Amino acid sequence: VEPLNSCFIFIPCEHNIRIMVAGNQSEVSEFILLGLSNQPEQQSFLFFLFLLIYMITGVGNLLIIVVIRTNSCFHTPMYFFLSNLSLVDICFTTTTIPKMLVNHISGNKTISYAGCLTQVFFFIWFAGIDSVLLTVMAYDRYVAICAPLHYSMVMTPKVCLLLVVVSWFWSYINALIHTVLVTRLSFCGQNEIPHFFCDLSPLLKLACSDTFINDLMVNTVGALTIIIPFIGILISYTRIFVTVMRIPSTVGKWRAFSTCGSHLTVVCLFYGTVIGVYFSPISNHTDQQDTIAAVMYTVVTPMLNPFIYSLRNKDMKGTLKMLLTRKPVRSL
């Protein structure tokens, strides 16, 4: 008789899940995304709500990119970083929301194993770029306020481009490391993810193999992408606050704080929720709390960015109004 660990047994399960057993190893071919609610009466409301949010996010951030590109007044380091942030936010929401909307329409909440890993990779990639770009923008404000005479020499076009390239490349490496490490894990039968997308944290909770290396990488490599930039932002704004308080003019103080206020709002929303999910003890929060926090930094923050950065800027509002009210030129 052949030993059990040398053969394969296929066990039929619900939701068309194939579990392949080979000795002590098992393979789940797909996962089930439980979403934000299991109440049927809430499904339609959530669908239209997130569809509206996705459209507002896409259109709002796209308008910021167009305004910055069409008006030469905005061809400065600060708006160069802002346009990149808007592009990343469009990609960020596209990674999660469309799949959730499709699941609502079809009634099928499954996602393939490969699709789940793909979503994990792009989610971590764009979240990392967001984090590094917010830090770069804080550094830009620090140089502009604390060393204005050296600003043009420090924030040259080459330096700005290099900072953006580094943010994309480093975040790519970070996402690749976490995704590859997930492929070494085994998932034994339990495949329901209490989330509306494949997030790394709930995915690790489903693994039946040791996740020590994964957790270690989250707290080391992941910290370089989230915690270190957050500390850098705090240091930058501490120096900015000290410098601004030395300005004798009340009007000057107000302008400086107004310039930095919008950026600080985004920082608090983004880092507060991300750190709460990934870098706090698991016992301190439930799956529902993690999902709500994820909605804040994956959905709400990208949607608010266009309003935070444009409505507080008279020049951008003026350019946007001219762009929207411009009459088409008739051909002769």
Per residue in 160-213, pLDDT tens? 999 999 999 999 999 999 999 999 998 887 889 988 999 898 898 899 889 999
Report DSSP state, residue 32: E
Q: How far apart are CA 158 and CA 80, in angstroms?
A: 12
Confirm whether 69 is domain-assigned: yes
Sequence-separated (6 or more) residues with CB below 8 Å from residue 251: none
Could you tell me the residue range of the domain that residue 105 belongs to?
Answer: 42-187+210-316
Tell me how many domains the chain contains.
1
Confirm whether 33 is domain-assigned: no
pLDDT at position 2 over 60: no
> What are the angstrom distances between the C-alpha of 285 and each of 37, 212, 280, 293, 310?
18, 20, 8, 10, 35
pTM listed for this prediction: 0.84
pLDDT-derived band at 246 (thresholds 50, 70, 90) equals confident
Per residue in 90-117, pLDDT tens? 999 999 999 999 988 888 889 999 999 9
Helix axes 301-310, 250-278, angle to 10 degrees: 170
Per residue in 261-303, pLDDT tens? 767 777 888 888 888 777 776 656 677 777 888 888 889 889 9
Confirm whether 276 is domain-assigned: yes
Q: How far apart are CA 301 and CA 53, in angstroms?
A: 11
- Identify which of 247, 234, 270 has the alpha carbon closest to the alpha carbon of residue 138: 234
First to last CA, the chain: 88
- Identify which of 194, 151, 211, 167 has the alpha carbon closest to the alpha carbon of residue 286: 194
Predicted confidence at residue 59, as pLDDT, reads 92
Confirm whether 331 is domain-assigned: no
CATH code, 287: 1.20.1070.10
Per the prediction, the chain carries an average pLDDT of 82
Q: Burial level of 87, CB count in 10 A (0-12/13-18/19+)?
A: middle
Predicted confidence at residue 23, as pLDDT, reads 37
Q: How far apart are CA 272 and CA 201, in angstroms?
A: 16
Neighbours of 247 (CB within 10 A): 15
Predicted confidence at residue 276, as pLDDT, reads 79
Predicted confidence at residue 114, as pLDDT, reads 93
pLDDT at position 120 over 90: yes
Confirm whether 6 is domain-assigned: no
Confirm whether 262 is domain-assigned: yes
The structure tokens 């919008």 sit at 262
| 323 or 177, which is more confident | 177
* Tokens standing for residue 96: 């999660």
Confirm whether 275 is domain-assigned: yes
Predicted confidence at residue 98, as pLDDT, reads 94
> What are the angstrom distances between the C-alpha of 271 and each of 72, 74, 151, 244, 303?
32, 27, 27, 24, 16
Average pLDDT over residues 17-41: 65
